[in-house]
Amino acid sequence: MMTQTTLQRIQLWLDGPYDEKTKQTIRDLQATHPEALSDAFFKDLSFGTGGLRAKMGVGTNRLNLYTIRLATQGLANYLNKQPLEKRRVFIGYDVRSNSDAFALEAARVLAGNQIEALLTDDICPTPLVSFGCRHFQCQAAIMITASHNPPEYNGYKVYWQDGGQIVAPHDQGIIEEVRKIQNPSQVLIASENSPLIQRIDSSLDEAYLTELASHRLYEALPSINIIYTPLHGTGIRILPNALKTWGFSCALVDQQKTPDGQFPHAKTPNPEEPKALELGAQMLIEQQADLLLGTDPVADRVGAAVVHEGAPGFLTGNQIACLCLD
């Protein structure tokens, strides 16, 4: 049975300034799946230090255009209270359903609050978002992603001007501002054609790769055969070219190289789980390659394997860290 608070939230959406498709979805759920409707409205999404992460759909407990707007308005209010000479936010998004639409909606809210929004024009790995934030001297960044969660999820992460995820005191400041935004009337939205929204093209990749090349530690690098899988994610945009920058080439796992938010050949797209790397491990053995690399859908998590006694040997995060320090 739905609580009175849940019923009130539902009625507010049915009576409020929400689009008709959303309202019809609510009415359909009322008639056919009341339990699902209750779960979608029984609480408000909680904005934490990691931002938002939830299933997509209608409701206060789901990620949708309206909850994206509320979160972004809170962020905008916090930025506008800071003693900054300029206010600029970089926005990236992953391969999931609605990620591009959510990113554009965040840009519209920022522009509505007189904050410049730099919106990537294609899927973007998290490291490139962090780099873009610093490269364009932004005060914050937003990444629309649910990382390696199942396809029905999406998320909203906030980064500060150093390119890292928000920490004290900004984390609590942003959280407090987001909690103050309770209804659509508090949200300011600009047109998607606003001059404050700037599309960022692949020229950012060139700047990233140039910076990457400057961090080369060894003049002579061994020639090794690498197998790479982006697990249907954003890594395909940058990692093959990054390896090329360092003098390596790689063969791609064909079934997993195409960006696809449904992850058809990687049901659990976490490269730290051997199951996600099965197809790549098979190529590793068949081609007698030296190294298998896999990244999660936003390329900020990596898994690796090598051939050991004729079978794939999967490296743990600790083992990879030790090798990087060697």
- Is the pLDDT score of 326 beyond 80? no
User: For residue 325, what pLDDT is reported?
Assistant: 82
Q: What is the pTM of this model?
A: 0.95
User: For residue 105, what pLDDT is reported?
Assistant: 98
Could you read off the pLDDT of 133-171 as tens digits, one per residue?
A: 999 999 999 999 999 999 999 999 999 999 999 988 999
CB 85 within 8 A of CB 164: no
Q: Which pLDDT band holds residue 313 (cuts at 50, 70, 90)?
A: very high
User: For residue 103, what pLDDT is reported?
Assistant: 98
For range 42-61, the mean pLDDT: 93
Domains of the chain in sequence order: 43-201 (3.40.120.10), 220-325 (3.40.120.10)
Residue with the bigger pLDDT between 219 and 75: it is: 75
- Is the pLDDT score of 14 beyond 70? yes
Catalytic annotation, residues: 147
For range 91-114, the mean pLDDT: 98
For range 184-194, the mean pLDDT: 96
- Calculate what percentage of the chain has a pLDDT beyond 70: 99
Average per-residue pLDDT for the chain: 95
- Is the pLDDT score of 221 beyond 90? no
User: For residue 220, what pLDDT is reported?
Assistant: 67
Q: Which pLDDT band holds residue 39 (cuts at 50, 70, 90)?
A: very high
Could you read off the pLDDT of 246-288 as tens digits, one per residue?
A: 888 899 999 999 999 999 999 889 999 999 999 999 999 999 9
